[in-house]
Amino acid sequence: MIDPTSPVPKYSQLREILLDWIEESRLGVDDAVPSERELGVKYGLSRMTVRQTIDHLVAEGKLYRVPGKGTFVARPKIEMSLRLASFTEDMRSRGYVPGARDLARRIVPARGHLARMLGIAPGTPVHHIERLRTADGEPMAVERSNIPLSVAPGLNEHSLSGRSLYQLLEEEYGLLLDSGEQTIEAGICDSTDARLLGLPSASAVLLLQRRSFANGRCAELAISTYRADRYQLHSTLDPQR
């Protein structure tokens, strides 16, 4: 119930109620949330207060709206892996069927940023591989991998469809990635990635840049666009010493 004497604003109290319903599974994924009018009547709130709560929960990705149909419970977000795992391993460990659709594969001379990040001389050829990554057939990310030709000569002759890149590097080239570094930042997807990911243009995304190393040598620079409506970051925190 809403406590009108509480210092907690009414829209926050309604937020807690709706989140409880989701956490206690009284509302499941894709279930319709009662209409703004119904919630207003039930809790004695103005339509504006209810709308404010729903707007916040939609913006947080907890709920989603279907125009003309109503508001529904969104799927919980996937925690982005902070380990040096392949997309395939990561998705499998969460019970999803991983997939990849080849978008482009070419050999390009590395320039500026790319050459610097890979630690190679400008002009050195690299494999550029673009893939749409899916989980249970749903688009999750666009990954653009850059791998020096010298690291995996003839990589282009190997099909990647239905195959993990990391597994291919290990099985065909004996390349075991042993360290990595990654930056993750908020961004807005361009029209190409929005189309590939099935998102409205200029949707929020997470932009990842990962460098993976084998024996001290950079084997891959991947620049990826992950759906912000499906991924979140979680980390445990150690006390400051």
Return residues touching ligand GLP (CB under 6 A).
86-88, 143, 145, 164-167, 208, 210, 220, 222, 224
- Min CB(26)–ligand GLP separation in Å: 35
Q: Residue 61 or 98: which CB sits closer to ligand GLP? A: 98
Tokens of 197: 């990911």
CA atoms within 13 A of residue 117's CA, in its CB half-sphere: 21
Q: Please, which residue, 52 or 134, has the CB nearer to ligand GLP?
A: 134
Nearer to ligand GLP, 64 or 96 (CB): 96
What is the smallest separation between the CB atom of 195 and ligand GLP, expressed in angstroms?
A: 20
Cα distances from 2 to residues 20, 23, 100, 106, 212, in angstroms, run: 13, 18, 47, 60, 51
Instruction: State in angstroms the smallest separation of the CB of 160 from ligand GLP.
Output: 7
Distance of CA 131 to the CA centre of its chain: 14
The nearer residue to ligand GLP, 160 or 194, going by C-beta atoms, is 160
Q: Hey, what are 178's tokens?
A: 């042993």
CB of residue 235 to ligand GLP, shortest distance in Å: 17
**166 vs 231 by CB, closer to ligand GLP:** 166
> Shortest Cβ distance from residue 36 to ligand GLP (Å)?
39
> Among the residues of 94-197, which ranges form H helices?
112-118, 165-173, 191-197
β-sheet with 125-135: strand ranges across:
98-109, 125-135, 138-148, 217-227, 204-214, 179-188
